[in-house]
Structures are given as C-alpha cells and as structure tokens.
Amino acid sequence: MSGLGGLNKSDRGVVIGLAQLQLPSVETPEELEEQTRRVCNMVGKARRQMPTMDLIVFPEYCLHGLSMNTDPAIMCRGDGPEVQSFQAACREHQIWGCFSIMEYNPDGMPYNTGIIIDDQGTIQLFYRKLHPWVPVEPWEPGNLGIPVCPGPNGSTLSLIICHDGMFPEMARECAYKGANIMLRTAGYTAPIRHSWTITNQANAFCNLMVTANVCLAGSDGTFNSMGEGMVVGHDGVPLVEGNGLADEIITAEVRPDLVDEAREIWGVENNIYQFGHRGYVAVKGGARDCPYTYMHDLVAGRYTLPWEDRVRETDGTSCGFPPPERHYGGTAE
C-alpha cells in the first residue's frame, strides 16, 4: 500500500518523496552555488507538492553531476555552506531531507558522501560511500561504516549510495543494525536499469526492509541518467515505480511498523533472522556458526578469488585515472 502516494497518510505512515533531479553540470564554485540553490528550491517544491511528505530524497551527485571532477575548488565540507543551506531548507520547510555531496578529503581523494537532515535542520546521519563505482569513480572508499539513525514516525533509516546496492552485504548490514527503511541514492544511466530494479527488490525482500531508491534524470549533454525512483515493500513488491522524467518527485507512503511486525512474526522467509539461526527446527536456536569462507577470508585480509590473477580491471587507468600509489588508510609507498 502507498496511500495514493501519501495523499491519504495513515497515523503510522512515513511519506517518502524521491526527487528525480535533473542531471547537472557543475565545473565552477559559482555553478556549485547555483546548483545548491536549485536543490534547496526543490525541497520547497516537495513540501508544496505533498504537505504530508516526511522525507525528500535527492540522488547521488545532486550537486556535482557525473563529471567526476575532483577540483578542490568545488569540493564540499560537512560543515560547509552547501550543507548549511540544506539544513536551512529542511528547517524552513519542516521536512527531513537526504542529500549528496562530494566531500573534500585532506588526506587523499574526495569522499562520495550522503547526509540525512531532520526537519529541525540537524544532521542525523553522515555516510561515506563504501563501494565507489570502479573503474569509473575516483572517490576514496568510505571509512565510517554504515550508520543508521532514528527517522520520522517510528522509522529507522539507513543510507547507501548507488553501487553499494549491488553488494547484498550492504543491505544486510543496514537491516542488521536496525534499519526498517533503507535509502539508496544513485546517478546510474540506462545500461544499469535491470540491475537497479532487481537489486532494489532483492535488498528489500532478503532483509524484510523497505527500500527507497532514486537516480538523477535527464541529460547533461554527455550522459543520460535514468530517474526511475522506486519504493519497494518489505515483501519485495514495488509500491511505486517512477519514470525518466527530470525533476519529477515520486511519492509513496510506507509503514515501518509493518516492517517491524514482519520481522517479529514471520516464520517462512524471515531471512534476516534465519541467516544467523540456521535450521532451528532441527537444532535448538539454530546453528550460529559462520560457514562462509569469503567472510573469514575478508576479515583475515586474505580475500582472494579463484580467478584473481586473471581479472583485467584492477585500477582506474581505463577511465583516465593514474594508478594509485597509496594503500587504503595509509601513505604512498
């Protein structure tokens, strides 16, 4: 159920808006400032369009577009003027908002960062993308894990960004930490359309969790982002699916209380619980070991594929980036 997109909001509902923002082209500080104003104006549009809306979600790259420009002059800071403008817009219009910035990193390449701000203008969640889309994106891998935060009307929110959603472990971590609504923001283009759809649905069903997902839309003269916001219920069934129309705000009402109920009462397909309690019909409490080789190897720092030495793309040189000389969390050799 989506309450006709939030027109008929229930007492326990959370109305989410997904802004299929026009793909921008930003190369200068002046253009960054103008794009910030444009995003803030759309926060106002969201409130006017749907007075019941609780949360407006903007896509990845809502400020910077898809140029992958790492010029320090247009990088943002967590307490910079762009974020302060977002805070002011949420406070003015009394609405929660999710935004994207490319964050200046004094120790390396910039971070691809997502922020959730509440309706009083307070930052509730600050996340750095764990899985930049290689070999295309030059961003530093995130170092803050996957945070969750309390959201509107009994919800618990998490945020992942674009390529993150192709790794089932990301959505599982969000659910494991208590999220009943997972946001996924993206700048994807049309070749990813099918993968986008099936992962948004799988991430929801496999974790008994609502997923709310949105891409940029339109063209910047080089790329065409696909829009296609979609909200998926905890049973994996889409509640609403958008289109490719730039600047349209797709809306749906979701019920975090029903997610919480399902996690408590489902027997069949309560996957997030059963993953850590294997075969509880046969053994008391289920098996609670870790039978997965890749998990042990990843923790031990020896994650290696059987075909590792045959992988061709292992840095960003095919996309024009020089080979990195610095290990993660360290300095150049």
From the candidates 62, 76, 103, 129, give the one annotated as an active-site residue: 129
Nearest to 160 by CA among 143, 138, 182, 141: 182
Q: List residues bridging with 127 in a β-sheet.
A: 114
**Residue with structure tokens 């509902």?**
13
Q: Which of 60, 140, 248, 253 is catalytic?
A: 60
Here the tokens at position 190 are 């049309």
User: Quick check: bond before 135 cis, omega within 30?
Assistant: yes
> Nearest-CA neighbor of 250 among 67, 57, 64?
57
User: Which residues is 287 bridged to in the sheet?
Assistant: 278
Tokens, residue 3: 């309450």
Question: Comparing C-alpha atoms, which of 139, 147, 194, 185 is closest to residue 164?
Answer: 185
Return d(Cα 203, Cα 188) in angstroms, integer. Answer: 17
Candidates 40, 62, 98, 162; catalytic one: 162
Give Cα 171 distance to the centre of its chain: 10
User: Please, where are the H alpha helices in the chain?
Assistant: 3-6, 29-49, 81-93, 168-176, 193-205, 256-265, 271-274, 293-299
> At a CB cut-off of 8 Å and minimum separation 6, what does 113 contact?
76, 78, 100, 101, 102, 103, 126, 127, 128, 129
Active site residue 162: yes
Amino acid letter for position 147: P
CA angle 31, 34, 40 (to 5 degrees): 140
Active-site amino acid positions: 60, 129, 162
